Homo-oligomer: A and B are copies of this chain.
Amino acid sequence: MQGNFTYHNPTRLHFGEEAMKHLVGELKHYGPTVMLSYGGGSIKRNGIYDAVAAALREAGKTVVEDAGVMPNPTYEKVQEGCRLVRDHKVDLILAVGGGSTIDYAKAVSASAYCEEDAWEKYWVKQGWPSCPVVPIGSVLTMVGTGSEMNGGSVITNRKAGFKLGKVFGPDLYPKFTILNPRFTMTVPQYQMVAGFFDIMSHLMEQYFAGKADCTTDYLIEGLMRSLVHSSRIAAKDPQDYEARANIMWTATWALNTLLKCGKGGDWEVHQIGHAIGLVTDATHGMTLAAVSLPYYRHVMRDGLHQFARFARNVWGVRPEGRSDEQVATEGLACLEQWMKEIGLVMHSAELGVTEENLQAVADAVLILPVGYRTLTRDEVVDILRQSM
Contacts and interface: CB of A to CB of B under 8 A. Distances in A.
A248 B7 CA distance: 14
A13 B4 contact: no
A148 B187 CA distance: 40
A225 to B, nearest CB: 5
A245 interface: yes
A222 interface: yes
Contacts of A50: none
Contacts of A305: none
A46 interface: no
Contact of A218 (B15, B16, B222, B242): B222
Contact of A242 (B8, B181, B213, B250): B213
Contacts of A261: 15, 249
A347 interface: no
Query: Copy number in this complex?
Result: 2
A77 interface: no
Given A1-B245, A223-B215, A223-B219, A12 B22 contact: no
Given A6-B13, A12-B7, A1 B249 contact: yes
A215 B246 contact: yes
A19 B262 CA distance: 13
Interface centre among A2, A222, A226, A249 (most CB of B within 10 A): A222
A10 B13 contact: no
A12 to B, nearest CB: 4
A214 interface: yes
A181 B10 CA distance: 24
A121 to B, nearest CB: 25
Nearest to A251: B215
A225 B3 CA distance: 22
A79 interface: no
Contacts of A262: 15, 245, 249
Contact of A215 (B6, B9, B14, B250): B250
A18 interface: yes
A17 interface: yes
B7 A15 contact: yes
B16 A242 contact: no
Contacts of A217: 226
A142 B223 CA distance: 28
